[in-house]
Structure 1
Amino acid sequence: MFATRAQPVASALSAGVQTRNMATLREIQLRLNSIKNIGKITKSMKMIASTKVSKAQRAMETARTFGASSAAIYKNSNATPLESEDNLFVVSSSDRGLCGGIHSSVAKATRKIIAQSEVKNAGIVVLGDKAKNQMSRSNRGDIKLSFNQIGKSIPTFAEASAAVDTIKASGVKFDNATIVYNKFTSAIAYEAVPITSYSLDALKGSEGFAAYEADEGVLEDYNDFLFANNIYWALVEGHASEMSAKRNAMENATKNAGEMVDRLTMTYNRTRQAAITSELVDIITGASAL
């Protein structure tokens, strides 16, 4: 009598436990498949970024040669920035993400330099949508121009020259320009640093150029060339830092996905073993009841 009444109750309990276990197993299996697919995507993106890093580093070495020549010209001419309140800050970044905090580091460095310089008229030109979003939160009113679609692959000198021409055509007035970019330090490190570009008046007033009776139009073209040269240097070196940071980010994401797959696989196996054990207990209990 007792066994006859207990059997339906035990069957109902076992059915409920089995249903919950099956639902849990299906959820774990779906999540496991999703994470495996994400891991495959991040691994592919890491391989693509690794291929682009080598090309970006070769272009960066060439751009550094151009940048070193500009720095040598300013140094040998003894040019110094003018004491003025009209300063321009060029923030170099890109339009794409998935590369860690590389864009936020440039924005933070720019805000820090502006705060330390204590300038009243700080015009900002942003190269890339990512840094524009960052700078708009704190310096929306100071943004004069913004560019996008620059450096979708490796930036070129033509793109830097077009940016300088657009800045001049827009009527943005400045006496000193500071370009903030990510300097490539190593495969796992970068640093936001500034490059200073001088105005035409500062170039004409320097000792090195004052000794020559150069035409003002020639000096103006030459100063624009130096400005574009520095922007090109910043863009290419920032692109190399971005590709390296993207590769590291995808490598970390792939590693994290693998660790999550291992944990979920262990959880799935334990849950499956628990379900099998529960079913065996039900079978043995039912057989004993009979």
Structure 2
Amino acid sequence: MFRLGAAQVARAQGARNYATLREIEMRLKSIKNIEKITNTMKIVASTRLNKAQRAMAASRVFNESDAEFYANAEPETPEADKTLLIVVSSDKGLCGSIHSQVAKAARRRSEELKGAVDIVTIGDKVKQQLLRTHGDKVKLAFNGVGKEAPNFYEVSLIADEINKLGKYENTEVLYNKFVSGVAFEPTTFGLVGAEAIEKAPGLSKYELESEDTSEVFAEFSLANSILTAQAEGYASEISARRNAMDNASKNAGDMINSYSILYNRTRQAVITNELVDIITGASSLD
């Protein structure tokens, strides 16, 4: 049987150590690059968060005006055969569970309505998740949103396309409400149709300029609600991405420390093996 000598075994182990050392070094370099990327993304998200919060505060003014009108007019929510559920998200990822949370809320709401619902999705992420379970309910989908803070022009175009689906006496807008820098929660706006507004007992408090005022207000209220929902969702997404990138950077830092220790230990083992080879070779010459 062929047997390796002590020196040959030591050289074989040294070769394996060299390979392991090289692998650790490459892995360490890769993690450091990832840490740089996540740190950069965290800084970008932190910078955008202030702008997103300003846009969110501005959009809330429109929603508060709508809420004041509904409180004064007191329209009754009719029993509708089918509800239009508008689910607001975005196209971007790397922001924790923000998309999955709103998708779960949409599924729960669909079950509460016993399937008597048509769904409109704003954002690719929530569309992909809802198509798996409620593909027959999704009637319209929008993408290319959520890259920047929303504006009323973009939202009005979305509202015009939604209105082409037909009239719904009951419309709900589901979105992620910004609670704080570390928290958000799926929330719903409830809207009523033009007929319910026209029959509202408190509508006489307002001076109406034309007969189609209720129709115009219903369309305007839908656009306002979508604008507020997108602004709230955008601020929630930026905050969630900042937190996710911060956690990723911390995890990368921990891994860098672990791999640095492992690299130093492996490097020391390689040096020790080389010294053993030198000493063994020198003693064999004596």
Q: TM-score, normalised by structure 2?
A: 0.94
Q: State how many pairs are aligned.
A: 282
Equivalent residue letter for 2:213: V
One of 194, 214, 217 as aligned partner of 1:200: 194
Q: Which residue, out of 234, 237, 258, partners 1:239?
A: 234
Distance in 1 of aligned mates of 2:128 and 2:229: 19
| Cα offset, 1:119, TM superposition | 4.7
Contact 2:167–2:193 (CA under 8 A) maintained in structure 1: no
Q: Which residue pairs with 1:77 in the alignment? A: 73
**Partner Cα distance (1:56, 1:238) in 2:** 9
Map 1:131-280 → 2, pairs under 5 A:
131-169=126-164, 171-209=165-203, 214=208, 215-280=210-275
- Contact kept? 2:91, 2:143, Cα under 8 Å: yes
Alpha-carbon separation, structure 2, partners of 1:52 and 1:124: 30
Report SS of the residue matched to 1:216: coil
CA distance in 2, matches of 1:211, 1:15: 94
Aligned twin of 1:93: 89
Inter-CA distance 177–43: structure 2 relative to 1 (3 Å threshold): same
Change (3 A) 1:161 1:30: same
Residues 1:210 and 1:204: Cα distance change in structure 2 (over 3 Å): farther
CA contact (8 A) 1:85 1:119 kept: no
- Quick one: which amino acid aligns to residue 22 of structure 2? R
Q: Which amino acid aligns with 1:271?
A: T
8 Å CA contact retained: 1:150, 1:159: no
Cα distance between partner residues in 2 of 1:152 and 1:59: 13
2:26 corresponds to 1:26: no
Which whole-Å deviations, capped at 9, do the CAs of 1:122-142 have from their partners, x for residues lacking one? 110000101100110111001
Q: Which moved more, 1:71-80 or 1:47-56?
A: 71-80
How far apart in 2 are the matches of 1:167 and 1:195? 16
Distance (Å, rounded) in 2 between the aligned partners of 1:110 and 1:74: 24
2: distance between equivalents of 1:209 and 1:179?
A: 23
Distance in 2 (CA, whole Å) between partners of 1:271 and 1:261 is 15
Distance (Å, rounded) in 2 between the aligned partners of 1:72 and 1:115: 30
Displacement of 1:144 in angstroms is 0.7
- Would you say the 8 A contact 1:43–1:251 is kept in 2? yes
* Percent of residue pairs identical: 46
Structure 1: which 5+ residue stretches go unaligned? 1-5
Q: Which amino acid aligns with 1:102?
A: I
Residue by residue over 1:183-220, the C-alpha shift from the partner in whole angstroms, topping out at 9 and shown as x without a partner, is 00000100001111111111112111256684332221
Instruction: Output the amino acid matched with 2:141.
Output: S
State how far apart, in whole Å, the 2-side matches of 1:221 and 1:67 are.
Answer: 16
Gaps of at least 5 residues in structure 2 are none
For 1:27 and 1:264, how far apart are their aligned partners in 2?
A: 11
2:72 partner amino acid: N
Q: Which stretch shows the higher mean deviation, 278-287 or 89-98?
A: 278-287
State how far apart, in whole Å, the 2-side matches of 1:236 and 1:123 are: 23
- Kept in 1, the 8 Å contact 2:86–2:122? The answer is yes
1:161, 1:127 → 2: CA distance?
13
Matched with 1:126 is 121
The answer to whether the aligner puts 1:45 opposite 2:41 as a matched pair is: yes
Rounded to whole Å, the distance in 1 between the matches of 2:206 and 2:253 is 65
Deviations 1:43-75 (A, max 9, x none): 111111111000000111111111111112112
Q: Equivalents in 2 of 1:213, 1:286: separation in Å?
A: 104
